[in-house]
C-alpha cells in the first residue's frame, strides 16, 4: 500500500531557529513529491515540487531535499518566523498518469517568540 | 488560489438532512477533487472527477455523492448527514506543472457541523 509518513507529528521552536521536517514514503512508481504549507483555517498551499531527478528545491527560507533511493524527503526552514507556524504536509504522486496523490498527515509547527 | 471558490464556507445542519457543497473554478481544469480533513487523519479523498460527468470514488466515499455537469462546478452531496461527517471539506484542482508533473491547488474549505 502506498504510504507517506511524516515526522515529527508536532514541533515547537523559537523564532529565528532552524528546523527540519521529515517525510518517508513507499509510493511506487514515484513521479513527484510536494511540500505544502497549511495555515490554520485555510487550504494547503504548495511550497515546493520535486521530480525523480531533482534532489533539492528552494523557495525562500524553505529548502526541500529528496533522496529517491531511500525514499526520504526533508523540508528545512531557515531563520524561522512567527508566520511559519502552520501544518506542513508531504504529498507524493505516482507516475503513469495517476492524478491521485498520497498525503502524509502533516507536521504541526509552532514558532514561539 | 487558482480561482477556486467554495460555498458555503460554514454550515451547521441536523442529522438526517441532505447537504450540498459547491466548488467552482474559473480556469477549466479537467481534474477536480473533494477531500475531508479531520484531526489525526490528514486529508482524505472522498471523490474526484476527470471531466464532465466523469467521476470516481476515493477512500472515504460512503455517504457521499458528487456531480459534475459543467467543467467549472463540482458538487458534493451528503445524502443524509451524520455526525461523523462533521469535518472541514476542501475542494482541489490539478494543474499540469510541466515535466509530466502536476500540482494540486486547494480551495479555502467549508466547515460543516452536523448536530
Q: How many Cα atoms sit within 13 Å of B89 on the Cβ side?
A: 33
Which residues of chain B lie closer than 8 angstroms to A99, CB-CB? 31, 48, 50, 94, 102
CA dihedral (B24, B27, B30, B31) positive or negative? negative
pLDDT at A29: 80
CA dihedral (A38, B28, A2, A32) positive or negative? negative
Reported as a single tens digit per residue, the pLDDT across B60-108 is: 999 999 999 999 999 999 999 999 999 999 999 998 766 667 788 999 9
Answer yes or no: do A51 and B104 touch at CB < 8 A.
Answer: no
Reported as a single tens digit per residue, the pLDDT across A41-52 is: 999 999 999 988
pLDDT at A97: 63
Answer yes or no: do A89 and B102 touch at CB < 8 A.
Answer: no
Q: Contact A65/A76 with Cβ under 8 angstroms?
A: yes
Q: In what order do the strands lie in the sheet with B19-25?
A: B4-7, B19-25, B73-78, B64-70
From first to last of its 113 residues, what are the pLDDT tens digits of chain A? 778 999 999 999 999 999 999 999 997 787 889 999 999 999 999 999 998 888 999 999 999 999 989 999 999 999 999 999 999 999 998 876 667 888 999 999 999 99
* Cα separation, A106 vs B60, whole angstroms: 19
Give, in degrees to the nearest 5, the angle at Cα A40 between B95 and A5. 65
Q: Contact A55/A101 with Cβ under 8 angstroms?
A: no
Closest residue on chain B to A6 (Cα) = B42
Closest residue on chain A to B89 (Cα) = A43
Q: Contact B29/B93 with Cβ under 8 angstroms?
A: yes
Amino acid at each position: 500500500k502506498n504510504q507517506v509518513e511524516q515526522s515529527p507529528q508536532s514541533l515547537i521552536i523559537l523564532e529565528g531557529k532552524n528546523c527540519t521536517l521529515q517525510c518517508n514514503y513507499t509510493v511506487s512508481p514515484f513521479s513527484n513529491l510536494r511540500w505544502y504549507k497549511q495555515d490554520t483555517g485555510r487550504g494547503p498551499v504548495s511550497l515546493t515540487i520535486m521530480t525523480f531527478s531533482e534532489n533539492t528545491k528552494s523557495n525562500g527560507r524553505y529548502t526541500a531535499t529528496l533522496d529517491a533511493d531511500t525514499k526520504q524527503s526533508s523540508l528545512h526552514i531557515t531563520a524561522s518566523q512567527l508566520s511559519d507556524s502552520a501544518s506542513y504536509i508531504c504529498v507524493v504522486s505516482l507516475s503513469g498518469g495517476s492524478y491521485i496523490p498520497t498525503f502524509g498527515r502533516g507536521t504541526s509547527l509552532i514558532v514561539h517568540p | 488560489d487558482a480561482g477556486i471558490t467554495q460555498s458555503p464556507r460554514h454550515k451547521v445542519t441536523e442529522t438526517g438532512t441532505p447537504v450540498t457543497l459547491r466548488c467552482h473554478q474559473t480556469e477549466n481544469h479537467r481534474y477536480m477533487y473533494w477531500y475531508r480533513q479531520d484531526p489525526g487523519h490528514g486529508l482524505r479523498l472522498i471523490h474526484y472527477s476527470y471531466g464532465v460527468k466523469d467521476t470516481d470514488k476515493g477512500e472515504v466515499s460512503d455517504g457521499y455523492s458528487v456531480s459534475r455537469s459543467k467543467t467549472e462546478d463540482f458538487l458534493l452531496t451528503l445524502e443524509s448527514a451524520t455526525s461523523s461527517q462533521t469535518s472541514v471539506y476542501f475542494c482541489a484542482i490539478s494543474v499540469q506543472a510541466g515535466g509530466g508533473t502536476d500540482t494540486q491547488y486547494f480551495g479555502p474549505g467549508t466547515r460543516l457541523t452536523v448536530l
